[in-house]
């Protein structure tokens, strides 16, 4: 009976992931899906730490694991390398910063087959690293509606399957890539949103199932979290240089907030009442952040959240906002490279 199960190809892009890759691979190899019915391709972006050594150790021990090289280093090129090498009927994109429930592959396959969807995915449980207080605050900031808006796959407000615009990672029918093409390698980030946008325009169906669960480990310091959000903000806007890529309002909310703050600050130089509006807006944001942080700290019985959630929210919103502004500025720069062929 197991022989009739579809072959699944798993693609894991990585670069310098020695802290997480081993744990990720352990959860993949522990799947309840038969090992002779899936392959694991770890696409390494020329890592300089022990990542390549870790991949080799696993590939030597488990024939289903193999390493592919990604000289371009960025995620979309890694995805494309994996897709080209994949043998499976379904191709699942996984992240090295994640751990997967034991039934992840089987649930993806079952739902993909039963629904006929072109891409299926599930809920992302944001998990803190190493029990650090800052990491716990960052995890709560991302999984909060105040931090991520209506990103259903992060905020876990899903009780039943629903059609969505994109999912984390995703389990794709192999035929999708022949119909829609590969990932756009001009995008260092946001490549999954752009691809799924093309998929939907081509009549594809993307479904989110709440019983498909993956644990994701974000950055564990406020500095790294700010930088990560900065580049997310850049790549929420900069893809407009190449294509029409309208995102959800939540992706542009930090940008509008930054523009409003800057506009009021500039207006205050010439129109004094604007300073009151600016102070009111800043006070309102701070009050809301503190209120949500206090409520979360009480709910989680963790007093450190009351102290660390406000700066985590600020790193989320202002990092993303400043990045979006820089993305707009970059739109005026000439592009150094032409479109890379898929």
Domain harbouring 39, CATH code: 3.90.550.10
Are the CB atoms for 150 and 247 separated by under 8 Å? no
Which of 50, 82, 100 corresponds to the end of one domain? 100
Q: Within a 13 Å sphere around the CA of 261, how many CA atoms are in the beta-carbon half?
A: 17
Of 38, 65, 100, the one marking the end of a domain is 100
Does residue 192 fall inside a structural domain?
A: no
Please indicate, yes or no, if residue 96 is contained in any of the structural domains. yes
- How confident is the model over 279-299, as pLDDT tens digits? 999 999 999 999 999 999 999
Which one of 66, 100, 134 terminates a domain?
100
For residue 275, is it within any domain? Answer: yes
- The answer to whether residue 229 sits within a structural domain is no
Stretches where the chain sits below pLDDT 70 are 1-3, 130-131, 149-157, 243-249, 334-342
198: which 2 tokens? 């093309």
Q: State residue 303's pLDDT score.
A: 92
Instruction: Give the per-residue pLDDT at 246.
Output: 60
Report residue 176 as tokens.
């999708």
**Cβ burial 259-291 (10 Å sphere, 16+ → b, else e):** eebeebeeebeeeeebeeebeeeeeebeeebee
β-strands 119-126, 38-44 pairing: unpaired
Q: Are 98 and 217 in contact (CB under 8 A)?
A: yes
Residue 311 lies in a domain: yes
Report how far residue 115's alpha carbon sits from residue 19's, in angstroms, rounded to the nearest whole number: 36
Structural domains in the chain (count): 2
Q: What is the mean pLDDT of the chain?
A: 88
User: Model's pTM, two decimal places?
Assistant: 0.83
Structural domain span for residue 262: 238-330
Long-range contact set of residues 107-114: C-beta below 8 Å, sequence gap at least 24? 107/209, 107/211, 107/212, 108/8, 108/171, 108/212, 109/5, 109/6, 109/8, 109/33, 109/171, 111/161, 111/207, 111/209, 111/212, 112/171, 112/173, 113/6
pLDDT for res 188: 83
Decide if 218 is inside a domain: no
Contact 96, 24 (CB under 8 A): yes
Q: Is residue 193 part of a domain?
A: no
On whether residue 264 sits in a domain, the answer given is: yes
């Amino acid at each position: 009976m197991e022989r009739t199960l579809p072959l699944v190809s798993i693609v894991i892009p990585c670069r310098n992931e020695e802290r997480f890759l081993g744990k990720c691979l352990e959860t993949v190899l522990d799947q309840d899906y038969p090992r002779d019915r899936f392959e694991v391709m770890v696409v390494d972006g020329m890592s300089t730490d022990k990542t390549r050594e870790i991949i080799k150790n696993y590939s030597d021990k488990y024939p289903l694991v193999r390493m592919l090289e990604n000289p371009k280093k960025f995620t979309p090129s890694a995805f494309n390398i994996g897709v080209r090498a994949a043998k499976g009927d379904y191709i699942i994109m996984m992240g090295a910063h994640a751990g997967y429930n034991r039934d992840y592959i089987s649930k993806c396959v079952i739902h993909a087959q039963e629904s006929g969807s072109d891409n299926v995915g599930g809920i992302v449980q944001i998990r803190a690293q190493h029990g650090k207080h800052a990491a716990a605050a960052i995890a709560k900031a991302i999984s909060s509606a105040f931090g991520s808006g209506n990103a259903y796959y992060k905020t876990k407000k899903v009780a039943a399957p629903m059609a969505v615009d994109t999912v984390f990672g995703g389990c794709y029918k192999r035929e999708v890539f022949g119909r829609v093409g590969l990932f756009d390698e001009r995008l260092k980030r946001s490549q999954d949103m752009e691809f799924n946008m093309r998929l939907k325009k081509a009549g594809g169906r993307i479904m989110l199932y709440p019983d498909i669960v993956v644990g994701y480990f974000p950055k564990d310091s406020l500095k790294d979290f700010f930088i990560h959000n900065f580049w997310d903000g850049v790549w929420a806007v900069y893809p407009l240089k190449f294509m029409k890529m309208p995102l959800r309002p939540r992706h542009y909310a930090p940008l509008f907030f930054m523009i409003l703050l800057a506009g009021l600050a500039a207006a205050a130089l010439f129109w004094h009442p604007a300073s009151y509006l600016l102070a009111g807006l800043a006070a309102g944001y701070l009050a809301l952040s503190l209120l949500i942080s206090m409520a979360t700290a009480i709910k989680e019985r963790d007093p450190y959240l009351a102290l660390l959630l406000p700066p985590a929210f600020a790193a989320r919103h202002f990092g993303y906002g400043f990045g979006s502004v820089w993305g707009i500025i970059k739109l005026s720069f000439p592009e150094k490279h032409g479109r890379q062929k898929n």
